[in-house]
Structure 1
Amino acid sequence: MTPPLASVALFFFVAVTAAVAKTDRADVEALNVLFTSMNKPSKLDGWKADGGDPCDDDDEWKGIECSGSSVTEIDLSGLDLTGSLGYQLSGLKSVTKFDVSGNKLSGEIPYALPPNLVKLNLQGNAFTGGVPYSISQMSDLETLNVANNHLSGQLTDMFSHLPKLSKVDLSSNRFSGNLPQSFQYLSGLKTLNLEGNQFSGHIDILAKLDLDDLNLQNNKFTGWIPSKLKDIDSLKTDGNQWSSGSAPPGMMKGSSAGSSSSGGSDSGINGFAIGALVIAVLLVAVILLSVLARKRSSPVSSHYYMDESGRTSSVEMQSLEKSTSMDCKTPPAVPRKSMNDNEFENKLNNSRRILDPISMVSYSSSDLQAATSSWHSSRLIGQGTIGRVYKAKYAGGQVLAVKKCDPLSFSGSSDFMEIVNGISKLRHPSICEIVGYCSEPGLYMMVYEYQMNGSLYEFLHLSDDYSRPLTWDTRVRIALGIAQALEYLHETCSPPVIHKNVKSSNVLLDADLNPHLGDCGLAFFYDDPNESLGPGYSAPECARPSGYTMKSDVYSFAVVMLELLTGRKAYDSSKPKTQQSLVKFVTPQLHDMDALGELADPGLHGLYPPKSLSRYADVIARCVQADPEFRPSMSEVSQELTGCVQRSDSDRRMGGGLYSASQRSDMSDW
């Protein structure tokens, strides 16, 4: 009887301990993960990798301040800490100050930061990647300091809703590209330090700010410095490529603010005129060549042409499963651009035939084990039907995603390589690209590009409004990207490829919130789509596994569209019974504009063009029809969503911008 009694006693001890703990459990768990991610440093007195009570006076943790049962401040500056920040900081909902400056922390700045920060200081570490988009939702943020790291890339437009932000320090990194247009909305900004980066373009946007301290030194800025900036108390502009000719009205010459000179007063004007003439000549030449090319070229078979006007109807077929004879036409590689880029849909519609497969890297298991910290739980980023997915990080800064497959899923290395070779032929900007593999006895792994913003499911559902900084335009573009990936699989690959696992957790978002559909080419493993998809995504015909067709993918895609529209999960057992299935709850209301306004994600704050919302809902209604024969093909869906994006862009260019729900009655002609 002793062991059972001991077990009961232990249970009650744990229960009582949890009941009397002073600190909120979510805060404790977040700090446990942070401690482990920083390699459990001994200098953090009181910290634990599991449990603890940091807000209890008898269990004081170094650098932690509390108010009641909530952690409110974390100050770990200058402690020579190593490791990373982990993945669970978003659980610290009461933390207003987070300071880990002056350490040796590395890796990417996690998307999951404390959501209600007032002061964020990550200065003087070795962080890589970019500034996470989650910062865009920190409406109380006053100080943002990421100086002296290894951050790079172009800043995303994330500053539209940060009215309290007064100090921004991005100095001594590797940022590049133009300044984001959303800088103009930083009405409270007083200090901006951009020194020591590779920013380029003009700085006109800064003239809209009421700055006291501006440091632009040692970048690649061009043009003239706005005259309004002369009134700034502290202005530093050396080390750029300012124009030296006569400044336009309202500007002052860069040389008068410490900029370099490169010629006489007329050289800038003459250079501009010559440049304009050259551009005009080139434009005429391009137009003439384009006309001649169209006249000389023969019609392209719709089987090989991805433009929306030349689609063939979809051919229903059984799943490709384990075929290596796929012949997929591949769009040319395009640079990753922000979802706000007006040419997004045009880039994705261009394609050409490429027969050579992607060159993949063969990784050793020991190499991948080292890059994932021996498959540490802190590196686990997902789990699917055939295995777990880990984040692999290399000393040079490269980050990859490794799908560690269940060895029982394959009959041997030849079986595994057959699958991998098939996946390598799937090449589309909105499909997760496989870049390598590991095939050793009993060890089978697939290596993919890593997408820093995680899955769409996490973005929409895990942290309430904080995790959904998605404008209506961005949501439509995400839906469009997924649609075009499925269109490519269904109608461009020969034979067609059925996905069988379309859901928001399989849509990954990169740094600019571009979507990438995962698990493509793995349909062989989804014998029962109901089981792999989970509740809420399966079409009615999936009650019979053999009944799954391409039109079943269309249904599942529509459920993802519903998630983007409503912010709700595909199936939520915490809701009243009539609302648990998203499709069953929303479908009857898709043609009721007033009901749609109520169903729209609160994270949108009512900001959407009502006509676009209605058109979007119409697409969903067609895709979730009970009879698969009546559902549209993915090329039809892509075309309709492309139209939505183009209309939105056209509306914005006309000065319309986004409209709130209260303005619907004024937009009936849109």
Structure 2
Amino acid sequence: MAGGFLAEKTGVLGLPVYVLLAIAASLLVACVILALRFLRRRAAARVKHASGLIPSSNKEIAADRAPEGGAGEVEVEVEEEKKGLVGVDKGNGGKGWGESSSSLEAAERMGNIGWGRWYSVAELEAATGGFSAGNVIGEGGYGVVYRGVLPDLSVVAVKNLLNNKGQAEEEFKVEVEAIGKVRHKNLVGLVGYCAEGAKRMLVYEYMDNGNLERWLHGDVGLVSPLTWDIRMKIAIGTAKGIAYLHEGLEPKVVHRDIKSSNILLDKHWNPKVSDFGLAKLLGTDSSFVTTRVMGTFGYVAPEYACTGMLNESSDVYSFGVLLMEIISGRCPVDYSRPPGEVNLVTWFKGMVGSRHGEEVVDPSMEIQPSPRAWKRVLLVCLRCADLDAEKRLKMGQIVHMLEG
């Protein structure tokens, strides 16, 4: 009886009932599949936005960092003002990173998201031997850096950020936004990221010779392996990296923590500027941004320390201090020295002013530079560290003068 009913012809093109039912069922299945695909694409789009890696508003980047002790970093509270600064949105409806872990797990499955790879904690744990103490290559108030080897045998540096009052989340966002998409031979390359639960990690290219601070102030013997030519190579490369941040990007990036420990060196002594956790992005319509004073004691520009007004000239001053450090082999602040020599900038300017410029050159260099060579660099140092920020050189000019 039922079979007879299904076999009956209908008024729709004379088709039997069972054919029309089959067509209706097929259409229903097709609609369900299309709906599922649409929902999956919307979920993927939400993951990309919730990750916080793609800026969606002009909120200010804020980064607080724990002091590292000793000469350490200074932190002075200054009233925050948003002066056209381009930054990153917190995304995810204002929720913290830990609250969007399901989205981040989906992002990890997506693999490459355009300018870096997502890694899981398990992957980085395997690469660093369980974050073993034997693989530690650096540590400070920001966290701990480990040497790691990925499955493809490439060597990386894994920075495990300390979550001090949410600072790991902020520094993670700042570094990704400031340097994640940037490629320059004198800026350290960001290979990938990890944001799983409360964990925030950044994966960088590995630099064989560590940081510049180690070679200037570590135990390297009576004769420094840093010849004058190597020091100039490091100074010029560093200047080119900073010049690219200031003059080659839009919005421009103010690093805010130029110092010897943040200059990494490869096996050929090529330098790369690293650690963008304190960086600020400065829009074209802003000549400065007023912000909390952050940086490292001895390198911070005096006008920035006093007013909180930050722009590229603050980095230029820090580079001037770094250049003095490179050619003299002295720390920016050294309390083991006589009172008149504790502050590197004060001592350096005094020596040059009293016509004893040759005495600021590091005596641990086996072969001293020619007077013409060190005089040119001394001039750059003084122009960078001028107390009048308006009289300081631009980084592009510094590159030109150093290449001389």
TM-score range, shorter chain: 0.5 to 0.7
The Cα shift of 1:464 comes to: 4.9
CA 1:431–1:418 in 2, change beyond 3 Å: closer, same or farther?
A: closer
Q: Unmatched 5+ residue regions in structure 1? A: 1-316, 325-356, 644-670
- Relative to structure 2, which stretch is displaced further, 368-377 or 502-511? 368-377
1:366 aligns with: 122
Which residue of structure 1 aligns with residue 250 of structure 2? 494
3-state SS, counterpart of residue 194 of structure 2: strand
Distance in structure 2 (CA, Å) of the matches to 1:438 and 1:635:
35
Tell me, yes or no, if structure 1 residue 459 matches structure 2 residue 221: no
One-letter code of the match for 1:618? L
Please show how residues 163-562 of structure 1 align to structure 2 within 5 Å. 322-323=87-88, 359-394=115-150, 397-408=153-164, 410=166, 416=172, 419-465=175-221, 468-520=224-276, 522-523=278-279, 528-529=292-293, 532-533=295-296, 535-544=297-306, 546-562=308-324
CA apart distance, 1:554: 0.5
Matching residue of 2:330: 568
1:523 Cα deviation after fit: 1.9
Aligned residue for 1:370, secondary structure, equals: helix
Distance 1:537 1:471 in 2: 24
Aligned to 1:665: none
Give the Cα–Cα distance (whole angstroms) in 2 for the partners of residues 568 and 319 of structure 1. Answer: 38
In the aligned structure 2, how far is the partner of 1:392 from the partner of 1:505?
20
Q: Secondary structure at the match of 1:407?
A: coil
Q: Distance in 2 between matches of 1:415 and 1:432?
A: 16
Secondary structure, aligned partner of 1:508: strand
Contact 2:233 2:269 in 1 (8 A): no
* 1:375-422 CA-partner distances (Å, limit 9, x unpaired): 222222223443222211346542111111123565897994575244
Question: TM-score, length-normalised on structure 1?
Answer: 0.41
2:393 counterpart of 1:637? no
Question: Please, which runs of 5 or more residues in structure 2 have no aligned partner?
Answer: 1-81, 90-112, 282-289
Deviations 1:150-173 (A, max 9, x none): xxxxxxxxxxxxxxxxxxxxxxxx
Q: Look up the match of 1:338.
A: none
- 1:65-98 deviations in Å (ceiling 9; x for gaps): xxxxxxxxxxxxxxxxxxxxxxxxxxxxxxxxxx
Give the 3 Å change call, closer, same or farther, for CA 524–623 of structure 1 in structure 2: closer
In structure 1, how many angstroms separate the alpha carbons of the residues matched to 2:156 and 2:262? 16
Relative to structure 1, the CA distance from residue 560 to residue 576 in structure 2 (aligned partners, 3 Å threshold; closer, same or farther) is same
Q: Assess, with a 3 A threshold, how the Cα gap between structure 1 residues 524 and 581 changes in structure 2: closer, same or farther.
A: same
Calculate the aligned-residue CA RMSD, in Å. Answer: 2.9
> TM-score, normalised to structure 2's length?
0.66
1:624 to 382, 385, 394: 385
Q: Does 1:586 align with 2:348?
A: yes
CA gap of 1:565–1:411, structure 2 versus 1, over 3 A, is closer
1:624–1:631 CA contact under 8 A, matched in 2: yes
SS in 2 for 1:439: strand
Q: Note closer, same or farther for the CA distance 1:599–1:429 as it changes in structure 2 (3 Å cut).
A: same
Cα offset, 1:636, TM superposition? 1.0
Aligned mates of 2:239, 2:197 — CA distance in 1: 38
Instruction: Give the letter for the 2:395 counterpart.
Output: M
- Aligned-partner Cα distance in 2 for 1:411–1:564: 31
Work out the CA distance in 1 between the residues paired with 2:306 and 2:86.
Answer: 17
**For 2:394 and 2:263, how far apart are their aligned partners in 1?**
20
Distance 1:609 1:634, change over 3 A: same
Superposition deviation, residue 550 in structure 1: 1.2
Q: Which structure: greater helix fraction?
A: 2
Match of 1:300 in 2: none
**Aligned partner letter, 2:274:** G
Matched, 1:599 2:364: no
For 2:254, what is the secondary structure of its paired residue? coil
Q: Return the alpha-carbon distance in structure 1 between the equivalents of residues 305 and 298 of structure 2.
A: 13
Tell me the SS of whatever aligns to 1:604.
coil
Amino acid in structure 1 at the alignment position of 2:309 = G
CA distance in 1, matches of 2:256, 2:182: 15
Using the alignment, how far apart are the partners of 1:418 and 1:553 within structure 2?
17
Q: Distance in 2 between matches of 1:616 and 1:368?
A: 43
User: 2:245, 2:253 within 8 Å by CA — same for their partners in 1?
Assistant: yes
CA contact (8 A) 1:358 1:424 kept: no
Partners of 1:394 and 1:415 lie apart in 2 by 24
CA contact (8 A) 2:383 2:392 kept: yes
- Quote how far apart the aligned CAs of 1:607 are: 2.3
Could you tell me which amino acid in structure 1 is paired with residue 315 of structure 2? D
Maintained 8 Å contact 1:319/1:523: no
Kept in 1, the 8 Å contact 2:243–2:396? The answer is: yes
How many residues end up aligned between the 2 structures?
A: 292
Question: Amino acid of the residue matched to residue 358 of structure 2?
Answer: G
